[in-house]
Chains A and B, each alone.
Chain A
Amino acid sequence: DAKTTQPNSMESNEEEPVHLPCNHSTISGTDYIHWYRQLPSQGPEYVIHGLTSNVNNRMASLAIAEDRKSSTLILHRATLRDAAVYYCILRGNTGTASKLTFGTGTRLQVTL
């Protein structure tokens, strides 16, 4: 599986935007970029995914570099509830069942 690299931790103030980077220089043409997050004492939850174009949903936005070697998860207004570990994961054909390969993720701290 192609590997992703994320910073170990980031901090943000509440109500501020947060940009969480992910490098994936060995991404293949068919890999989708998925983001999951894990709140304390919970299982991971899906945030967003994309292939080439930027994506928006109610939780976040995903900005994908033109060469697809990096991407950024954008939380437009961080809240205390967004404090979690964020995982950037590459995954093949998103229509079929397959495992997720988790790295160590970025631990986001949100302060008042």
Chain B
Amino acid sequence: GAGVSQSPSNKVTEKGKDVELRCDPISGHTALYWYRQRLGQGLEFLIYFQGNSAPDKSGLPSDRFSAERTGESVSTLTIQRTQQEDSAVYLCASSTYRGGKNIQYFGAGTRLSVL
């Protein structure tokens, strides 16, 4: 079936503007995760959802970052009053428990550039 889909693939915004990033997980996957990857670095965890609830939002860097998930499906990550240090690739993953495993499947990411 279809993989994890993220939109837009690229987003350029001006400092101070708000942005919304969207993630469509694999159908039927109960868990959804957001990560951030700055240039040349590893992935940083931001938040994850089990169903529509977020048991772990410990990685959100500030109160300018928020995320929601509806219908146990699509999720949006919102960054308010963007700053230049928010420039990064934002990656979404989804997973479900199957065959004794809980593997995360990643989308291609949204590249955010804050000018």
Which of B14-22, B67-75, B80-88, B90-98 forms contacts with chain A? B90-98
User: How many angstroms from the CA of A98 to the CA of B101 in the assembled complex?
Assistant: 12
Contact flag A102-B104 (CB < 8 Å), given A95-B97, A97-B30 = no
Q: Which of B42, B59, B97 contacts A105 (CB 8 A)?
A: B42
What's the Cα separation between A99 and B60 when bound, in Å?
A: 13
Of chain A, the residue at the smallest CB distance from B43 is: A102
A-chain residues with CB within 8 Å of residue B59 when the two chains form the complex: 99
Q: Which of A2-53 contact B (CB under 8 A)?
A: 36, 41-46, 49
Determine how close the nearest CB of chain B comes to the CB of A32; give it in whole angstroms.
10
A contacts with B: majority SS:
loop
Judge whether B107 and A43 touch: CB under 8 Å.
Answer: yes
Interface residues on A, range: 20 to 34
* B-side contacts of A100, CB under 8 Å: 33, 35, 43, 45, 104
CB-CB < 8 A to A101: which residues of B? 45
Some 16 contacts from A to B, beta carbons below 8 A apart, are: A42-B108, A43-B109, A44-B93, A46-B103, A46-B104, A94-B100, A96-B102, A97-B30, A97-B102, A99-B45, A99-B56, A100-B33, A100-B35, A101-B45, A102-B35, A102-B42
Instruction: Tell me the B residues contacting A by CB distance below 8 Å.
Output: 4, 30-31, 33, 35, 41-45, 48, 50, 56, 59, 91, 93, 95, 97, 100-109
